[in-house]
Amino acid sequence: MTSLVDFHCHLDLFPDPEAIISQVEGARIRALTMTTTPRAWPHNRELTKDKTYIRPALGYHPELIKGDSSELQLWEKYLPEAKYIGEVGLDGRPEARRFLAEQKEVFSHILHSCAREGKRILSIHSTFAVTEALNLIEEHLPPARGKTILHWFTGTSKEAIRAIDLGCYFSINSAMLSSTKNCAMLAELPTNRIITETDSPFILLNGQTQSPLNIEVTVKKLSNLIHREPEATAQIVHENLIALLS
Ligand code: MN
């Protein structure tokens, strides 16, 4: 049976993390749960210990880098025990842009460390800073040293082509698929580079908080975009996950 995949969610930010984790595990949905601050890593590692379908990622969210990047040492300390890295990257929205220099320093360091360690899989935030994020990926993390997934990618078609050349995958959520502006660009992505995500609990759909448990909504929307049946779309995503992990 094809497993459904939620490659970017924040299960530790749900009101009852243990409950949602046990439900997702029970539903056999493959979920990658982000860490936003390195301090939260030990908790996330414990929450997902011995799980078959859920993996934790070690992150340092760019929105939390506000002139103080002191947690980078902690991130570095935990790196040897983390195969997945996220949420990391750059945020160029007006309220975060004034810390973009610090964000770039942290993200460069993270990419460089991942290249040194090798075999890491990174879920990358690039809101309003796509070109800058791609520049740093190109500079610090050669495709042979790690794999990159652009989470909630909102770049142009030109930036998408560049990301594809750099070996990036794209994790696509329901909000992205609701934006007609995005859909033309998303429809051009090669189907062997796409994967599904919810970014839950941050996205509301029809007023409801999403979770990995309703990832099939995203699969269905994606299936409309790529003109495939939902089952075939789920199969494509599952095959891409296997390629990503190989
Ligand atoms: Mn996120």
**What region does 119 belong to: left with phi over 0, alpha with psi -120 to 50, or beta?**
left
| Amino acid 70: pLDDT | 84
Distance 99 CA to ligand 1 centre (A): 19
Distance 8 CA to ligand 1 centre (A): 6
Other residues' Cβ atoms within 10 Å of the Cβ of residue 72 = 18
* Domain boundaries of the chain, sorted by first residue: 5-245
Distance 34 CA to ligand 1 centre (A): 7
Distance of alpha carbon 212 from alpha carbon 10, whole angstroms: 10
| Amino acid 67: pLDDT | 80
| Amino acid 201: pLDDT | 96
| Amino acid 2: pLDDT | 82
Which of helix, strand or coil describes residue 184? helix
Q: Quick check: 90 and 125 in contact, CB under 8 A?
A: yes
Distance 235 CA to ligand 1 centre (A): 24
Distance of alpha carbon 48 from alpha carbon 166, whole angstroms: 31
Q: Identify the CATH number of the domain defined by range 5-245.
A: 3.20.20.140
Distance 215 CA to ligand 1 centre (A): 15
Spell out the long-range contacts of 161-169 with Cβ–Cβ below 8 A and sequence spacing 24 or more: 162/134, 163/130, 163/134, 164/189, 164/190, 164/193, 166/134, 166/137, 166/138, 167/143, 168/124, 168/134, 168/137, 168/193, 169/193, 169/194, 169/195, 169/240, 169/244
Distance 232 CA to ligand 1 centre (A): 26
**What region does 204 belong to: left with phi over 0, alpha with psi -120 to 50, or beta?**
beta
Distance of alpha carbon 126 from alpha carbon 74, whole angstroms: 23
Distance 86 CA to ligand 1 centre (A): 8
| Amino acid 179: pLDDT | 85
Distance 188 CA to ligand 1 centre (A): 23
Distance 7 CA to ligand 1 centre (A): 10
Count of residues in the chain: 246
pLDDT < 70 regions, the chain: 1
Distance 19 CA to ligand 1 centre (A): 20
- pTM above threshold 0.95: yes
Tens of pLDDT, residues 131-186: 999 999 999 999 999 999 999 999 999 999 999 999 999 999 999 999 888 899 99
| Amino acid 69: pLDDT | 78
| Amino acid 1: pLDDT | 67
